[in-house]
Amino acid sequence: MEYNMTKYEKLFFDVDDTLIDFKAAEKVALPIVFNEFKMDFTEEVESFYKTLNRQLWTALEQGEITREQLLERRFRETMQHFGQKVDGREMDKQYRSLLVNTVVLIDGAEQVISQLSEKYELYIVTNGMIKTQHDRLKAANLTPYFKRIFVSEETNYQKPQIEFFNYVMSNVEDFKKSTSMIIGDSFSADIVGGFNAGIDTCWLNAHNQKVESTIQPTYIISKLHDLAEVLL
């Protein structure tokens, strides 16, 4: 595939599993938080929690539930399923504090972002909580490279909702759709969201996912290093 990305001026990056390895942090944080709340983190517990969490995030992206409902329900309903009652928000709060203390970068993330920041304006566009995402980016030493960090809690909308992208576009100086691109690992949030907003997309498809959709990414890369090779 031939790449011609010299037209871009502004690059919008997702965070989790694009720049920061969320799965690595989750692997450390989940057993700790369940053990703190007196629940053995068995394979059965892990499977139930992750399935429920995915369902809730999908519902949130589609506007069916609120962010507060997701944060309150995912741990409360998991513990309830296994016969225990907890304050879902308190358990979630402890979990997110553990995520901040367990930051693992995607391979090459700081090097790639550092190089790109010399040529492009960089922005963060991420779902999640403001404090959690800002703290994680700071812990990863990535904050200085970005002109602004947009978190869904601030916008009151989630990727891929068009309102999220409208908020971002209206709050970036000299924004032009034709010279902007979003880079992310989530097809449903980043690629669909970017497409619907009318901007180019670059899908970081590290695990060779197969997606049936009429929407096609502008570019597909398998590792973050590839982005530097085609943009620089």
- Phi-psi bin for 180: left (phi > 0), alpha (psi -120 to 50), beta? beta
Known catalytic residue at 14? yes
Catalytic hit among 14, 16, 92, 135: 14
State the sign of the Cα–Cα–Cα–Cα dihedral 144, 10, 102, 29. positive
CA pair distance 26, 50, nearest whole angstrom: 10
Rg (CA), the chain: 18
Burial class (CB in 10 A: 0-12, 13-18, 19+), 6: exposed
CA pair distance 24, 222, nearest whole angstrom: 18
Virtual CA dihedral for 108, 9, 3, 161, nearest 10 degrees?
80
Write the CB contacts of 66 (distance below 8 Å, at least 6 apart in sequence): 60
CA distances from 138 to 13, 117, 182 (A): 15, 16, 21
CA distances from 164 to 86, 126, 173, 203, 227 (A): 32, 10, 16, 19, 24
Active site amino acids: 14
